[in-house]
């Protein structure tokens, strides 16, 4: 069966510090991968998606970036965090675009 992992689970970072969040999927190959952010009391905002290694599409201009160095690994990064980057970051995968998405446990990021 397929499983999706995210780490760290929680993170507290100062403004201006770098960020690296990791997502990995097990039990499947060539998944579509997604990064979402969920602010308190809001729905999910799609940040990036990837259909293959090295292929990244950005949905929202911001100071975040994403990379996919391996088939089942998706990384969210920032060089300098802003206060507004605080939120709950979720990674999701799907076996194909026409299928539903399955979410990881999330990373709660607090920028102080």
Partner 1 sequence: QKEVEQDPGPLSVPEGAIVSLNCTYSNSAFQYFMWYRQYSRKGPELLMYTYSSGNKEDGRFTAQVDKSSKYISLFIRDSQPSDSATYLCAKANAGGTSYGKLTFGQGTILTVHP
Q: What CA–CA distance (Å, rounded) separates 64 from 84?
A: 11
Closest CA to 91 of 66, 60, 63: 66
Q: Tell me the window of 11-19, 60-68, 74-82, 87-95 that interacts with partner 1 (CB under 8 A).
A: 87-95
Residue among 46 and 53 whose Cβ is closer to partner 1: 46
Q: Is 101 in the site for partner 1 (CB under 8 A)?
A: yes
Among 13, 28, 46, 62, binds partner 1 (CB under 8 A): 46
1 binds partner 1 per the rule CB under 8 A: no
* DSSP label of 72: T
């Amino acid at each position: 069966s397929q499983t999706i992992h995210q780490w760290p689970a929680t993170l507290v970072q100062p403004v201006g510090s770098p960020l690296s969040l990791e997502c990995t999927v097990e039990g499947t190959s060539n998944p579509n991968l997604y990064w979402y952010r969920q602010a308190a009391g809001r729905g999910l905002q799609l940040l990036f998606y990837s259909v293959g290694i090295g292929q990244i599409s950005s949905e929202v201009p911001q100071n975040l970036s994403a990379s996919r160095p391996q088939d089942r690994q998706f990384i969210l990064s920032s060089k300098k965090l802003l206060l507004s980057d605080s939120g709950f970051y979720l990674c999701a995968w799907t076996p194909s675009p026409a299928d539903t998405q399955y979410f990881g446990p999330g990373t709660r990021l607090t920028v102080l």
